[in-house]
Amino acid sequence: MVPCVIFEDEHLLVVVKPAGWNTHAPSPYAGEGIYDWLRHREARWATLAILHRLDKETSGLLVFGKTPLANRSLTEQFARHRVRKQYLLLTDRAVPEKEFTVKSSLLRVGEKYASRSGGEIAETKFTPVADSELKTQNSKLKTVSASPLTGRTHQIRVHAAESGFPILGDTLYGGTASSRVFLHAAEIAFAHPATNEQLKFSAPVDFAAEPRQALRAAIMDPDATSAFRVIHGASDGWPGWFVEKLGDFLLSQSEASLNARQSGELSRLARTFASRGVYHKTLSRQVRRSTTTEVSPPLVFGEAAPGRFEILENGVRYELSFREGYSVGLFLDQRDNRRRLLTGHLAADFPQLPTSDFQLLNCFAYTCGFSVCAAKAGARTTSLDLSKKYLEWGRRNFLLNGLDPSLHDFIYGDTFDWLRRLAKKGCAFDAIVLDPPTFSQSREHGVFRVEKNFGDLVAAALPVLKPGGVLLASTNAVEWPPEKFLASVDSAVRIAGRKILKRHYVPQPPDFPVSRAEPAYLKTAWVKIH
């Protein structure tokens, strides 16, 4: 079970949304909201419906409907104000000593809302909370309970600000800048749509918790996954700096040496995760001109990792190493896509992958992560890469997971060359993975630049994709807009005389949060082709 899920039955899914995550994606190519991520994660959640929303920086309880009955019942209960909700907020301003209610009409004014005549009626009851009832680290902060008697956008935020105590972190409404908006949906109560039983859910709040760690804790089952991104640049308040947890170790990455503030944060993170050692990689464009030793990340402090060590991802084991060059053996931003091959559920409204008589071709296979997941699901896999070292690494990943590599194919060579050979042999695959580097060079094909040549790659792969087969097309080219990436795929399919039956676009996972300061870079399309 995903940690953020606290209740599920035939009709309902109740989750605790962390701060910093949208309820749903704000635009087609933005990062997924919690709704999108859940809906595309499990087949049984494919029909989830949004019944109410929380702002991105508000944490707490969300209820999703799973059946038409639940959707109708909860929609009616919300409309008739029969759903009871309680929020908790922090403020650094003075608050009234007694309970009081604010009632006004709210109207949108620019980016925010304000009490204006002609708007929709909003009513909120505020109750001060004694310090003994909810401890905070700062005695100057006051806790207030807010019960919205209506469900208008931003109504608690507006009413708190207009009453003289804007919420801490809510700079849009005059609050003091902080690490998040300190507003939490703590309780929700309603009648069960099928039984009419009165249900009440509670989600305790820890306002002292670090927001970015709370987001990761909401989506990562520690028993199944031990590798994820901890800090993702400006989205997490650290422009140009990235940190990953890789099992018992941390890997820091930036274009410069660590500064004192970053070193202090790494020490704190090492204590938080009980990390044995911390490494730092200097990001560089001159990797191909350097030796393996020069580009391997050095140890910063703590215990050195063994030459090879294991991590877990969705219950799958992978071998990593800090001694094999620039890359450690697994790209964590593809975790959700690997899981799709592991479960066969690609997305809501997308046909399930078969579990038998299924053949996968993994081009640019690297250490064969996609192949391992497909093989665990029952597929026969072919992994193709220009590096013998990485294919051997891939074989070891198969063995780590109890898979016999002799039952699968590992092909050393240029992808374009081998796609032609496979087509001449009449080979056909049910699914093909195309996740090339942004730039590569081979003796057979010459220079490959993803923005220029991705369409050529798709065209070369189509002759060995069965009718009704699925193509995974992916790139991390930062400057390439998703619209142009998808257009290159569409154009190649059309020119080949094939037809796209279904397409699902996937951005990067939630531990790589997308923001204006840190735009999305990973672009993936799952495409079913006639």
Residues with catalytic function: 55
Rounded to whole angstroms, the Cα distance separating 60 from 57 reads 10
User: What are residue 149's phi and psi, to 5 degrees?
Assistant: -85, -10
Token pair for 375: 């093989």
Amino acid identity for residue 90 in this structure: L
Measured in residues, the chain has a length of: 530
What does the DSSP 8-state code read for residue 40?
T
Looking up tokens 């620019």 gives 110
Q: Cβ–Cβ contacts within 10 Å for residue 92, how many?
A: 17
The DSSP-derived string for 51-88 is: -S---TT-EEEEEEE-SHHHHHHHHHHHHTT--EEEEE
Rounded to whole angstroms, the Cα distance separating 445 from 261 reads 46
25 CB-contact burial (10 Å; exposed 0-12 / middle 13-18 / buried 19+): middle
Radius of gyration of the chain (CA): 25
CA–CA distance from 235 to each of 241, 383, 442 (Å)? 10, 35, 36
Q: Which residues contact 175 (CB under 8 A, 6 or more apart)?
A: 91, 161, 166, 167, 168, 169, 181
Q: Cβ–Cβ contacts within 10 Å for residue 408, how many?
A: 22
Q: In what helix (H) or strand (E) does residue 267 lie, and over which residues does it extend? A: helix 260-272
* Three-state secondary-structure class, residue 219: helix
